Amino acid sequence: MIEAFQLTKSFGPRVALSEIDLSIEDGDFVTLMGPNGAGKTTLLRILATLSRPSSGRVRIAGMDPAREGERIRRCIGFLSHGTMLYDELTAEQNLRFYARLYDVPGASSRVDDLLQRVGLSERRRDKVSTLSRGLKQRLAVARAVLHGPRILLLDEPYTGLDPQAVDALTDLLVDVAGRGCLILLATHRINRGLALGRRVLVLDQGRLIYDRPRETITLRAFTEFYRGVTS
């Protein structure tokens, strides 16, 4: 479903990604970790077709992002550091707008269900500009999964969430994964990342230095390894 071959991305003299080879199968749940500046966001943006590599190739569901970007974007849900929400629209209006954009069937019930799941039913008529950072993050998660994407790319989705919202998001991700969606989740939370992902990747200085199935990893050994990477 996701393939990268010798993927490299440079910003002037700075190399953000260096010769990444990666293959992720349909329905897999992969945790992506690494220190700040490791290249996680750059990788996710390239896979979301929002940025182009400097060299190398990417294939999403067998398609070339340079030629079939629009088709690819319709099967991707992406949560970045920016919420991609419209401040002057209400929470409900934002989801209804994206539902029309993606031609979501049964949009009204889908919007109602997601607002309930992320705990925003009572704030559905409030403008996004009036919501706290955590509530905006909840709504952005709902936006990302609204159209039932085949691929879900999440960049630090737990940022700004209170414990109740963290649990709600985890339940939602487990449900989405159970329906066969490929999830690539970038997070700094070791316990949460290992609990969710069936495969763990680590980026450091733009290179993929770790790629192992979850069942071969112990929490203690990985924590020691990761502390060495981030220190």
Q: What is the mean pLDDT of the chain?
A: 95
Share of the chain above pLDDT 90, in %: 93
109 pLDDT above the threshold of 90: yes
Say how far apart CA 203 and CA 47 lie, in whole Å: 15
At residue 91, the 3 state secondary structure works out as helix
Q: At 199, which amino acid appears?
A: R
Residues 5, 60: contact at Cβ < 8 Å?
no
186 pLDDT above the threshold of 90: yes
The pLDDT tens digits of the residues spanning 10-49 come to 999 999 999 999 999 999 999 999 999 999 999 999 999 9
Residue that has been written with the tokens 């999964």 in this structure: 145
Q: What residue spans define the domains of the chain?
A: 2-75+149-230, 82-143
List of E strands, 156-230: 182-186, 199-204, 207-213
Residue bearing the bigger pLDDT, 230 or 7: 7
Domain 2-75+149-230: homologous superfamily in CATH: P-loop containing nucleotide triphosphate hydrolases (3.40.50.300)
159 pLDDT above the threshold of 90: no
pLDDT at 230: 87
The pLDDT tens digits of the residues spanning 56-89 come to 999 999 999 989 989 999 999 999 988 999 999 9
In sequence order, the β-bridge partners of residue 23 are: 3
Say how far apart CA 53 and CA 58 lie, in whole Å: 8
The pLDDT tens digits of the residues spanning 137-154 come to 999 999 999 999 999 999
